[in-house]
Each structure stands twice: as C-alpha cells, then as structure tokens.
Amino acid sequence: MITLGFIPSVIILTILFVLYKKGILSIRRQTYLSYITRKTKNRFRASYKKYNGYHYYRFWVKKGSKVTVSYDVTVEAGSLILEWKDIKMNRYFHKEFYDSQSGSFS
C-alpha cells in the first residue's frame, strides 16, 4: 500500500527530472586539484593543477576610473576562458586560451 507521504516525493522527483531533461536544471560537478589563490588590493593570482568548472572573482573599481588588466596564463592541457564583466553582466573582455599567453587589456 502506498502512503500519502510518498506521493509528494514522487511528484517533486518527477518535476526535477523533467527540468533536468529539458536543460532548465543542470547538475555540475567541479574538480579542483591543488587550487591556490592569492588576492590583494591590486593583484589576483590563481593556480590549479586540474580544474573543471568556473569561478568568479569580484573587483571593485571606482566609476569613471581607467583600469588595465594584465594576465599571464599557463595552459598545460585543455583550455581556460578569461572574462571581464561588470555587475550588469556586460562583457568587456572574453578570450579562450588553448596555450600559454600573456597580455593586457583596458
């Protein structure tokens, strides 16, 4: 005999399954191996041995001030995407690295 407490659980699991199949709900597993970050007022440094996922870092900049961002990316396998966005998600810089590169943008 099915109890009434079991029915809501089945309904919730069915809804979650449908959302997952339609791509509305996603399950992501991230891998961090030897993950190290250092952040000061004017500098940010991150290093990973193995990484699968995404990470966001916030920097506060005064309105109207000019900013130059320098990067030194080392890629041993796979790729790395570097993006710079404002709080409204407007993209100012986007680049995918497949090999090691250095550069800057303003």
Domain ranges of the chain: 30-105
The tens digit of pLDDT for each residue in 31-87 reads 666 777 788 877 888 777 777 777 777 888 888 888 888 888 888 888 888 888 888
Q: What is the DSSP letter of 94?
A: E
- Full-model pTM: 0.59
**pLDDT confidence band for 30 (50 / 70 / 90):** low
Q: Which residues pair with 38 in a beta bridge?
A: 45
How distant is the alpha carbon of residue 104 from its chain centre? 21
Main-chain phi, psi angles of 26, to 5 degrees: -125, 150
Looking at per-residue confidence, does 62 or 24 come out higher? 62
